Amino acid sequence: MDIKFHLALPCKDIEETRAFYQDVVKANLGRHTEKWLDVDLFGNQLTFTQSGNFNFDFKNYRLEDYILPSFHFGVIVPVDVWGELYSRLFQLDLEVTTEATFMQDKVGEHLSFFIQDPNGYMVEFKSFRDPEEIFAT
């Protein structure tokens, strides 16, 4: 079943947000106005609405030996896309964080890294060793 996710989020600056997703991540834009925009993040829809300043408490949690942001969103991509994206973002001297293989040699093993967008959102990009294990328990 090919189901896409939609996530709507506030943003501080619509133009900075557009530039980050379109020019840095290389995502396509969908419908947009001066106050909101849709981003096609690997076939999934992010909608950003300009809201000015907002406040979220970024709590963390531990997974294996890593401290990860509780509040984040992400996308699961094939390993070749993951590698290209990681290399390109890292070469742009952006703060790519927590690049790791999680659950190594276990069900659900996956590569993952995080990057922060201009609104302070942590975006996770992950690739599973075996895509059949994405929802395995």
Report pLDDT digits (tens) over 1-29.
576 788 878 888 999 999 999 999 999 99
CA atoms of 38 and 41, how far apart (whole Å): 9
Q: Are residues 127 and 79 in the same domain?
A: yes
Q: Does the global pTM surpass 0.85?
A: no
pLDDT for 86: 93
pLDDT for 10: 85
pLDDT for 55: 65
Q: 53 near 16, Cβ under 8 Å?
A: no
**H-state helical runs in the chain:** 14-19, 79-91
Assign 119 to helix, strand or coil: coil
CA atoms of 128 and 89, how far apart (whole Å): 20
CA atoms of 112 and 125, how far apart (whole Å): 6
* Counted domains in the chain: 2
In a domain, 128, yes or no: yes
Q: Which residue has the tokens 């990009």?
A: 125
pLDDT for 103: 87
Q: Are residues 26 and 89 in the same domain?
A: no
Q: 38 near 29, Cβ under 8 Å?
A: yes
CA atoms of 125 and 81, how far apart (whole Å): 10
| Domain membership of residue 37 as a residue range | 6-50
CATH at residue 87: 3.10.180.10
pLDDT < 70 regions, the chain:
1, 3, 54-59, 61, 70, 135, 137
